Every structure is written in structure tokens, then in C-alpha cells.
Amino acid sequence: MAYSDKVIDHYNNPRNVGQLDKSSQDVGTGLVGAPECGDVMRLQIKVNPETQVIEEAKFKTFGCGSAIASSSLATEWVKGKTVSEALEIKNTDIVKELALPPVKIHCSVLAEDAIRAAIGDWKKKNGVTETEKSAQTVA
């Protein structure tokens, strides 16, 4: 099974690899894993407290090419978005963008989970009310 050019591009030139200060008030950290394949993904965001815009995003992923590409793309996409906009990102968007085959869909699910976990962590740190989030789960 061949990887798409976009996956290979992200794999060879991953965007935003790295780490943000976990203890910083503005930083949210999401650490997620897929027990099926043993992948682990850490995605961090730095949120502007005034505007709620994600100004910085970093990731570090141990896993297959698709997992790396999915998280790399996820950091690209969340940057510049507000927290609530970032929550709109769906794994299916990632699948489409990277042309992931069905067996790699879980990698995109992991990336979406990582975004949600990072935002969840940031919200918890900053005491943001969960109204949007619960609305999301109901929808």
C-alpha cells in the first residue's frame, strides 16, 4: 500500500515538531494513544488568553507515517484558529486531505482526539466553562 504524496511530504518535512512548556498557563497538552498499533501522539497548543486564538502548536508522535502526517497536519490546521474553530476539525477532513486509506483512518481519529485533549487540558487549566464542549457531544 502506497502512501499519498501529502503523507510523504508531512513525514519527510513534519511541521511544528517540538514541545511547548507544559506548565505554562496558556499551553494545553494532549497525550493520546492507540493501543491497536502502539502509537503515541502528543499535541500542544498555546492559546492567546484574550482572543482564544491558537498561536502556536507543536507535536511529537511515535508511530507510522500516517500518524505523523495526521498530527503534523493537525498542528498546521489549528494554528491561527480560535479554540472553538479548532474543535470543528474532524478526522474525516484529515482523511480527505491526506488521502488516507481505510486501514489508516484510526491515525486521523488519533489526531482529532489529540486536538480535543489539548484543548480540554487548556480549558481545564483556565477554568473555561464546558458549555461548548457539552453542546458538541450532544450534537
Partner 1 sequence: MQAAEQSVKTACWSCGSALTAGQPFCEVCGKVQAPGSCVTYFDVFGLPCKLVLDVSALERAFYKLSRKLHPDLYAQATMQEQQWSLEQTSLLNDAYRTLKDPVRRTEYLLRLEGVEIERDKSSGDEKKDSRVPADLLEEVFELNMQLEEMRMSQKMGEDDRQLRSDLEKAKAQFEGQLADFDAQLQSLWGEWDAALDADGSLAKEDAKNRMVALLDRRRYVRNLVRDVNEALEI
Q: CB 18 → partner 1: shortest distance, Å?
A: 12
The set of residues, in sequence order, having a beta carbon less than 8 Å from that of 108 and lying 6+ positions away, is: 66, 70, 91, 92, 94, 95, 98, 100
Please check whether residue 54 is in contact with residue 122, taking contact to mean a CB–CB distance below 8 angstroms. Answer: no
Minimum CB distance to partner 1 smaller for 12 or for 48 = 12
* Angle, alpha carbons 59-63-68 (nearest 5°): 45
64 classed as catalytic: no
Is 37 catalytic? The answer is: yes
Any contact of residue 23 with partner 1 (CB under 8 A)?
no
Tell me if 108 contacts partner 1 by CB under 8 A. yes
| DSSP reduced 3-state for 32 | strand
Give yes or no for residue 91 binding partner 1 (CB under 8 A).
yes
- Rank residues 36 and 50 by Cβ distance to partner 1 and give the closer one: 36
Question: Which residues contact partner 1 by CB under 8 A?
Answer: 31-38, 40, 42, 60, 62, 91-92, 95, 102-106, 108-109, 113
